[in-house]
Structure 1
Amino acid sequence: MSADVINKAFLATEEDFLALVRKQWLNDPHMASVGSCCLVGIVCSGMLYIANAGDSRVVLGRLDNTYKEVKAVPLSSEHNASVESVREELRSLHPNDPQIVVLKHTVWRVKGIIQISRSIGDAYLKSTEFNRDPLLPKFRVPEPFDKPILSAKPETLVQKLDPEDQFLIFASDGLWEHLSSQEAVDIVNTCPRNVRFLFVILFLSN
């Protein structure tokens, strides 16, 4: 296992999805507007591998032996235009596009459309091949572009797991809009371990 293997898996998934969009273009052009964030965690031989594309977040609950408390340790960065460093990255990647990030109704959006800067899918923001009829105008970018606006390349992290590392929380922005990393860790830490697994099963079943 390596970060390179995970990177290749993300890009292969992206390529396969774009191939599907291309195949279904005339019958279902709406597929070009479909996309998803992707957050992956792998534990292998005592090492933790994290890969993220989008604005989901993974948080580690780590025991602080000094204070006997479980502290939140965020392990991923959110690729959301509301983050200044993300806006700076987009501007550096698209120096000739003054509209690459736009403040619209008090919310920063890429091209005034979408908040995330990385995703799987969203083909209409990856290639001009899909930024045309018969895709609905509301999903099209009016200005031509010569390279992908969004990226499918994940940000990766590899680190050794320590005895103090208690649990991991993977969640989308829907959770983090309402809870801080520490609040989520406190909730999980107060639940018996078997209840934590039950929460995961219930979440997956929904």
Structure 2
Amino acid sequence: MLRLCCRPLERCFARRTRDGLLWHVDLKPHATGDFSVAVVQANKSLEDQAQVCTTPFATYIGVYDGHGGPEASRFINSHLFPYLNRFALEQGGLSEEVIRKAFNATEEDFVQLVMKAWLSQPQIAAVGSCCLVGAITDEILYVANLGDSRAVLGRRVADGRAVVAERLSNDHNVAEEEVRKELLQQHPDDSHIVVHTQGVWRIKGIIQVSRSIGDVYLKKPEFCRDPVFRQFVSPVPLKRPVMSAEPSIRVKKLGLHDSFLIFASDGLWEQLSDQDAVEIVFKNPRPGIAKRLVRAALSEAARKREMRYEDLRRIEKGVRRHFHDDITVVVVFLDRHRGGDSPLSGGASAVVCNTPADIFSLTSGKPMFPSMV
């Protein structure tokens, strides 16, 4: 029988810290190791979501960093993993094709939601989310990405006394010269496809990420021409879509020295380098390690503003966004020797939904995916 913990996150398995906007899961098991999760809110509405789920096919990790509102990240949270599991079942296992199909189906479903809702909620056409997913199966790691959340591998050096970072995802952000060149090649007749404004590069002067789920008005130019929509969003003259939902996918065989993975929204990477992050994980105890990474990022954000962390944590949500972004971190340890004895072996699943109003559930049998929309 499936069982669901129906209490608020912080009363279920996650804990709230003295910083009332920071929640965390110290350490929980997945199929072949442990994982730790932490999130700190900066925006008025928390736009980040995260999940960890073990199914018969794979252990899935997801980090979804929304923008323009929480609707797209919450939609992904309730739709993407079920599609991954369904398509893996239909095709006899996980593959790049399965992952692309799941991303495409999630995007199509969200577009359909927007098409039905936008007349009463025009702003939903301008809501989107970055989407970072990892899947571990039979010593193979898949990393699929839209946007600028990032996956980083921590690998022990041969003597086991140090660790090196390996980035496993591409940042689809026009701050990267490669991304700007790609857009310019795709839009040779649009000299304003990328614009440098207020110190940063943006697509059409609007958005920094070039790939996402949602952001329908930047993928379907007809929205920008509609008078109703233009009352709520500044009109943008588009000849063709300027954003994509096509994920970049990397496939990697895990080795004996591959120790752990960090999946995090860009709020973490704005403050910490890849190497700094893996060294924090390597040098500290496992319990609460995701929370430690978040606090290190917050301390760095405070240092940049010449203030103390203690002062930063007293700032309320909304105002806090002027100092740092929402930050979500999932640390996944790779203890492959535990595979047969894992408390989640045999088809059990763990799902983490990391907003304060959401639920952390531990289920056995068929995976359970809480509805978010």
Shorter-chain TM range is over 0.9
User: 1:136-186, CA deviations, whole angstroms, 9 ceiling, x for partnerless residues?
Assistant: 4563443231x3110000100001011101110011111101000011111
- Max Rg structure: 2
Question: 1:73, CA displacement in angstroms?
Answer: 0.6
> Residue 102 of structure 1 contacts residue 111 of structure 1 at CA under 8 Å; is this kept in 2?
yes
The aligned counterpart of 1:204 is 354
**Aligned partner (choices 101, 116, 119) of residue 212 of structure 2:** 119
Structure 2 contact 123–232 (Cα < 8 Å) conserved: no
- CA 1:26 to 1:98, structure 2 compared with 1: closer, same or farther past 3 Å? same
1:101 aligned residue = 194
Question: Counterpart of 2:354 in structure 1: which amino acid?
Answer: L
Find the counterpart in structure 1 of residue 241 from structure 2: 148
Number of corresponding residues: 205
Comparing 15-24 and 67-76, the one that deviates more: 67-76
Change (3 A) 1:125 1:202: closer
| Secondary structure of residue in 2 paired with 1:7 | helix
Q: Distance in 2 between matches of 1:11 and 1:204?
A: 24
Aligned-partner SS, 1:89: helix
Task: Report what 2:168 is aligned to.
Answer: 75
Q: Which segment drifts farther, 113-122 or 136-145?
A: 136-145
CA distance in 2, matches of 1:205, 1:19: 25
Measured against aligned partners, the alpha-carbon deviations of 1:57-93 in whole angstroms (never above 9, x if no partner) come to 1000001115731111111110101100000000111
- With over 3 angstroms needed to count, the CA separation of the structure-2 counterparts of 1:175 and 1:198, relative to structure 1, is closer
State the identity as a percent: 51
* Structure 1 residues 80 and 183: CA distance shift in structure 2, 3 A: same
Provide the C-alpha distance between the structure 2 equivalents of 1:141 and 1:52, rounded to a whole number of angstroms: 28
Which consecutive residues of structure 2, in runs of 5 or more, have no partner in the other structure? 1-93, 293-329, 331-350, 357-373
Sort the Cα spacing of 1:137 and 1:180 in 2 relative to 1 into closer, same or farther, 3 A: farther
2:233 maps to what in 1? Answer: 139
In structure 2, the partner of 1:159 is 252
| Structure 1 counterpart SS, 2:229 | coil
- Name the CA distance, whole Å, in 1 between partners of 2:265 and 2:290: 18
Residue aligning to 2:147: 54
- Residues 203 and 7 of structure 1: CA distance in aligned 2, closer, same or farther (over 3 Å): closer
Rounded Cα–Cα distance in structure 2 between residues aligned with 1:133 and 1:164:
57
Q: Give the whole-Å Cα distance in 2 for the aligned partners of 1:141 and 1:26.
A: 16
| In structure 2, distance between residues paired with 1:144 and 1:56 | 26
Structure 2 length-normalised TM: 0.52
In 1, the alpha carbon distance for the partners of 2:198 and 2:248 equals: 29
Task: For residue 243 of structure 2, give the secondary structure of its aligned residue in structure 1.
Answer: coil
Q: Distance in 2 between matches of 1:85 and 1:198?
A: 33
2: CA distance, partners of 1:191 / 1:178: 19
Which amino acid letter does the alignment assign opposite residue 84 of structure 1? E
Going from structure 1 to structure 2, the CA distance change for 1:140 and 1:15 (only over 3 Å counts) comes to farther
Contact 1:60 1:74 (8 Å CA) reproduced? yes
- Which of these residues, 144, 156, 175, is aligned with residue 63 of structure 1? 156
Using the size of structure 1 for normalisation, the TM-score is 0.92
What is aligned with 1:85?
A: 178
Q: Distance in 2 between matches of 1:119 and 1:96?
A: 23
Q: Which of 88, 92, 98 is equivalent to 1:5?
A: 98
Offset of residue 128 of structure 1: 1.7
Contact 2:122 2:232 in 1 (8 A): no
- Alpha-carbon separation, structure 1, partners of 2:163 and 2:238: 50
Aligned-pair CA distance for 1:204: 2.5
Aligned partners of 1:193, 1:67: CA distance in 2, in Å? 17
**Paired amino acid for 2:131:** C
Q: After superposition, what is the alpha-carbon deviation per residue over 1:96-132, rounded to whole angstroms, capped at 9, x for unaligned?
A: 1111000111210000100000010000100023223
